[in-house]
Amino acid sequence: MSKDVNIDWENLGFNYIKTDFRYISKWKDGKWDDGKLVTDNKICISEASTCLHYGQECFEGLKAYRRKDGKIQLFRVNKNAQRMKTSTDKLLMPEFPEDKFIDACMQVVKANEHYVPPYGTGATLYLRPYMIGVGDNIGVKPAPEYIFSIFCVPVGPYFKGGLTPCNFNVADYDRAAPRGTGGYKVGGNYASSLQSHKLAAEAGFADCIYLDPATNTKIDEVGAANFFGITKNDEFVTPHSPSILPSITRISLMQIAKDYLHMPVYEREVFIDKLDEFKEAGACGTAAVITPIGGIEYKGKMHVFYDEKEVGPVVKELYRILSGIQFGDVEAPEGWIYVVE
């Protein structure tokens, strides 16, 4: 490490910490500038920016991992670049090219290398790429200018003492409309989820389950994470719905279940009143990797999967392989790992 930073690596949470450099690039007159690293963590934008009024904003989230040999690696960063393109296309924002996206992530990690937590702590450097519509504008239309930026924050492992199951209830409200923007990582989806999360937390749950907005009978998402279940026949099942945010962790787990654990994998409907088919369940996403689901409360009844206190063996094994790949301890499928050099 090139420089000492005063961080208690063992006790990091998921909180903002100002790191030294962030990448910023501006789009004006139809093109992106060269982009650069800056130290200022404030951005100054027009009061009439579309991101402030009309939600013309999208973001990504990924992590940099310190390996046992001290090197740093990114996990499937090309997938984040591709997903951001689906978001920017949807919101009529300019594409930020995949090669530039990956290069910018590399630059941010290298410039903040001393903030990448040591191997063995379970902590990582979380990267937050985002794009906002800016510039002087008042009508509901795409912005005249855009900012693309990436900042980073060291974050702790979600679960300090190993994988701890969480309980969830079912939200009374939808997070996304049918044929809406649920499948895109755009800010507007999250403002409207804050209230459901608050209500779930007040009722003593970790977060809420969102059902498919059209029929309210099938599981869509678990808070801001994707759902998967392990059936009694040892199949890996994850919901199929256009209003689910396509999680990169989820597609990775689907491949791990198939290629490492030789399980049949299905993307299909998961009915909230047919949870008995599953012996284990989990929520997945970059931040938590996997959250084992202890139980789900629906219509006043608690459905427990494996155990409310203990993680089941299949979810535990999926976690071991995925986090092993991410930290460089387990051999990765081709193209998943980007070493920061």
Ligand X SMILES: *Cc1c(COP(=O)(O)O)cnc(C)c1O
Nearer to ligand X, 210 or 306 (CB): 210
**From the candidates 42, 71, 141, 185, which is the catalytic residue?**
185
Instruction: Name the segment binding ligand X (CB under 6 A); options: 162-170, 248-256, 268-276, 317-325.
Output: 248-256
Site string for ligand X, 174-203 (x = CB under 6 A): -----------x------------------
According to the binding rule CB under 6 A, does residue 245 interact with ligand X? yes
Among the listed residues 226, 243, 291, 326, the single contact to ligand X using CB under 6 A: 226
Question: Please, which residues bridge with residue 147 across strands?
Answer: 26, 132
Task: Give the nearest distance from C-beta 191 to ligand X in angstroms.
Answer: 13
Local structure of residue 175 (DSSP, 8 states) = S
Q: What are phi and psi of 157, to 5 degrees?
A: -65, 145
* Helix boundaries (H) for 76-223: 77-90, 98-111, 188-191, 194-202
Contacts of 6 (CB under 8 A, 6+ apart): none
Measured in residues, the chain has a length of 341
CB of 204 to ligand X, least distance (A): 22
Q: Does 285 bind ligand X (CB under 6 A)?
A: yes
How many whole angstroms separate alpha carbon 18 and alpha carbon 154?
Answer: 9
How big is the CA angle at 198 (ends 197 and 199), to the nearest 5 degrees? Answer: 90
- Rounded CA-CA distance 26/201 in Å is 39
Please identify, among the stretches 6-14, 63-71, 221-229, 318-326, the one whose residues bind ligand X according to the rule CB under 6 A. 221-229
Residue among 84 and 93 whose Cβ is closer to ligand X:
84
Closest to ligand X by CB, 61 vs 135, is 61
User: Is residue 286 within the footprint of ligand X (CB under 6 A)?
Assistant: yes
The two structure tokens encoding residue 294: 């202890």
Q: In the numeric block, which tokens belong to residue 51?
A: 């991101």
Min separation Cβ 187 and ligand X, Å: 10
Secondary structure (3-state) at 174: coil
Rounded Cα distance between 319 and 82, Å, is: 25
On whether the CB atoms of residues 255 and 237 are closer than 8 A, the answer is no
Verify binding: residue 224, ligand X, rule CB under 6 A.
yes
In sequence order, what are the residues at sequence separation of 6 or more whose Cβ sits closer than 8 angstroms to the Cβ of residue 103?
none
Instruction: Name residue, tokens 């804050």.
Output: 194
Binders of ligand X among residues 76 to 105 (CB under 6 A) are none
Contact window for ligand X (CB under 6 A) among 91-99, 110-118, 218-226, 314-322: 218-226
309 catalytic residue (yes or no):
no
Cβ at position 81, least distance to ligand X in Å: 12
C-beta of 141: minimal distance to ligand X in Å?
A: 26
**Count of residues of this chain found to bind ligand X when the rule CB under 6 A is applied:** 13
Residue 61 is a binding residue for ligand X (CB under 6 A): yes
Least distance between ligand X and beta carbon 296 (Å): 17
Choose between 22 and 79: whose C-beta lies nearer to ligand X.
Answer: 79
Among 247, 272, 306, 338, binds ligand X (CB under 6 A): 247
Task: Write down the least CB distance from residue 300 to ligand X, Å.
Answer: 26
Question: What one-character-per-residue DSSP string does 72-101 give?
Answer: EEEESHHHHHHHHHHHHHHTT-PPPPHHHH
Q: How far apart are CA 321 and CA 294, in angstroms?
A: 21
* Residue 248 within binding range of ligand X, rule CB under 6 A: yes
Q: Which of 123, 134, 186, 225 binds ligand X (CB under 6 A)?
A: 225
Q: Does 221 bind ligand X (CB under 6 A)?
A: yes
Query: 135 or 188, CB closer to ligand X?
Result: 188
Render the burial of 190-206: b for 16+ CB within 10 Å, e for the rest. eeebeebbeebeeeebb
219/293 Cα distance (integer angstroms):
13
The residue type found at 124 is: T
List residues with catalytic annotation.
185
Q: Which residues bind ligand X (CB under 6 A)?
A: 61, 185, 221, 224-226, 245, 247-250, 285-286
